[in-house]
Amino acid sequence: MKFQSKSTYFTLAILVVIVTGLSLHQKFSITTSALDTYPSNIILFIGDGMGLEQIYFGQLVEYGLSNTSSILSFPYNTTVSTANVDGTTTDSAASATAISTGVKTKNGRIATNWNAKMDLTTILEIAKQNGYATGLVATSHLTHATPASFAAHDPSRGNYQEIAEDFSQANVSVMLGGGFEEKYIGNYISDFETLGYEYVTNETALASVTDVPVLGLFTGGSLPPLQTMLENSTIPTLSEMTIKAIDLLNSTGQPFFLMVEGSQIDWAGHDNDEIYLAHQIIEFEKAVRYVKNLAEQNSDWQLLVTADHETGGFSVKDYSFITEIPLETDSYTEKLDKRTARAQEVDVGWGTGGHTDTEVILAGMGPYTDQILTAEHHIDTFSIMRQAIDGETDPIGSDFYLGHLPLYFYYLIGLSSAALMGTGLYFILKNVIRRRQNF
C-alpha cells in the first residue's frame, strides 16, 4: 500500500476523529435491560435532612437496643453522594431534582437544569406517560422544594405561585400535605376542582374519599410539628396520609408512583432541636414500616428510602435512658411524652445550622433494587426507579445531558483529543512514508 497524497493523510486523520467520537458516544450511552419486570409500583420515601445519625437516633429513642428501625433493615442499602453539578453542598431543590430527573443541577432549581434553560422530565411525569396513577405526600406545604421537584418546573424554589400553577396542570392523582394559603396553593384550588379533584381539608373528610383525583391541604402553610399536635387534631400525620394515599392509588387498578416526604426532619436539623427531630424521624420511620410490610407481600412493589442531604452535622454521643421505650399499648399522649423524655436522655452533638455534604442512605427492596449496591449518587436513584417503569435507565433529554454535565462538553473533550491524535498520526505517517519513498 502506497500513500500518494496529502489528502489521504487528512482522510485518515478524520477517520480517527470519527471513530474516537463514536466510541465515546458508546461509552456514555447507558445500555438498558429489557427483560425484568415492569411496570412495578414505586414508593419513594425522602427524609429531608435525614443523615444516618438521625436514623440511629430515632431507632434509639423509639426502640432502644432491642429492635431495629425499618429504614435500617432493608435487603439492599448503601450511601450516596448528594453533591450538586458544581460540587456545592445541595439544597432540597437541587437534590430532589437529581432524584426526580437523574440530572444534577444547581441550588434552587425545581426540575430544571443548571442554567434553568431546560425543563427536566421527572420520574412522576414518566410514570404518568406510562399509565401510572401518581401521588405526592409531604408534611410541608406542597409547593415546597421537595414535592415541587416532582411535578413542577421552575428556575427558583421560591416561586410558589408558578409552582402551584404547574401543580394544577400536572394531573397528579393524590396530593396530600399543607398549603391552602393564597401564597402557596390557595389561588389554584378552584382550578383543581374544575379538573374534577375532590378537595379536602381535614382528616375526617380525607377518610371518606374513595376515588382519585384528590387534593388534601390540611393547613395554610406546613403541618404543625408533631410534639405540638393533640390526639384529637383534625390534621392527619405523615403515616395517616401515606396509608390513605397507598389505599387510593392501589384502588385505581393502575400501577402507581408515590413520593412521601418527611419534610420537617430538615427543620429540626436547622433548629438543632433533637426533640423536634425525634418526633419527625419516628413518624417517618412508622410510615416506612407500614409500606415495608405491604411491599413484603407484593414482590412487584419497588420501595426506596433516601434523604436529600444531611442537616445539622448531627451526632449521637452517648445515652442514659431512664424512661421506658414507648409501647404499642401506650396512649397517644404517653407515647408522645416518652419520646420527648427519651430524646432528652440522649447526649447529642450539632455541628451546624445548615446542610452538610455527608453521604445519605439509599435503601430499598423490590424490582431493580439490587442496583442500590452500585449506586453512587442521587441520579442513580432515578435510574433504579425508571427501570421499574419502562426498563430504561436514562433521564429523558440524556442526548444533551450525561447525568450532570452537558454531553457536548464530553464531545468537545473527545473531539479535541481525537483531533490531536489525528494530527500526530498524520505527521508520523507522513514521516514513515517519506522515509520509504527515500529508500
Report, in Å, the least distance between residue 356 CB and Zn ion. Answer: 11
Cell of 288: 416506612
Binders in 212-271 for Mg ion, by CB under 5 A: 263
- Separation of alpha carbons 353 and 359, rounded Å: 17
CB nearer to Zn ion: pick between 91 and 203: 91
Per the CB < 8 A criterion, the answer to whether 165 and 188 are in contact is: yes
Q: Is the dihedral of CA 147, 148, 150, 151 positive or negative?
A: positive
Q: Which of 125, 203, 266, 274 binds Zn ion (CB under 5 A)?
A: 266
Q: Does 92 bind Mg ion (CB under 5 A)?
A: yes
| Choices 139-147, 261-269, 318-326, 381-389 (CB under 5 A): range interacting with Zn ion | 261-269
Report, in Å, the least distance between residue 90 CB and Zn ion. Answer: 10
Per the CB < 8 A criterion, the answer to whether 364 and 303 are in contact is: yes
Catalytic-residue membership of 92: yes
Q: Does 97 bind Mg ion (CB under 5 A)?
A: no
Report, in Å, the least distance between residue 193 CB and Mg ion. Answer: 26
φ, ψ (nearest 5 deg) of residue 360:
-120, 165
Report, in Å, the least distance between residue 259 CB and Zn ion. Answer: 17
Residue 182: count of CB within 10 angstroms of its CB = 14
- Separation of alpha carbons 170 and 152, rounded Å: 7
CB nearer to Zn ion: pick between 271 and 300: 271
Residue among 20, 127, 42 nearest 306 (CA): 42
Per the CB < 8 A criterion, the answer to whether 178 and 223 are in contact is: yes
Q: Mask: binding to Mg ion, 42-61, rule CB under 5 A, as x and -?
A: ------x-------------
Binders in 141-200 for Mg ion, by CB under 5 A: 146
CB nearer to Zn ion: pick between 107 and 254: 107
CB nearer to Mg ion: pick between 146 and 387: 146
Per the CB < 8 A criterion, the answer to whether 161 and 141 are in contact is: no
Q: Does 310 bind Mg ion (CB under 5 A)?
A: no
The option from Mg ion, Zn ion, none interacting with 381 (CB < 5 to 8 A, set by class) reads none
Q: Which of 40, 69, 70, 92 is flagged as catalytic?
A: 92
Residue among 190, 177, 113 nearest 149 (CA): 113
Per the CB < 8 A criterion, the answer to whether 112 and 120 are in contact is: yes
Pairing of strands 355-356, 256-262: unpaired
Q: Beta-strand (E) ranges in 206-271?
A: 214-217, 256-262
Q: What is the largest CA-CA distance in the chain?
A: 100
CB nearer to Mg ion: pick between 125 and 261: 261
| Choices 22-30, 96-104, 264-272, 277-285 (CB under 5 A): range interacting with Zn ion | 264-272
The option from Zn ion, Mg ion, none interacting with 40 (CB < 5 to 8 A, set by class) reads none
Task: Give the DSSP H or E segment for 417.
Answer: helix 407-438
Report, in Å, the least distance between residue 345 CB and Mg ion. Answer: 29
| Choices 115-123, 125-133, 265-273, 335-343 (CB under 5 A): range interacting with Zn ion | 265-273
The residues carrying an active-site annotation are 92
Which residues of the chain form contacts with Mg ion (CB under 5 A)? 48, 92, 146, 263
Using CB under 5 A as the criterion, which residues of the chain lie in contact with Zn ion when the complex forms?
266
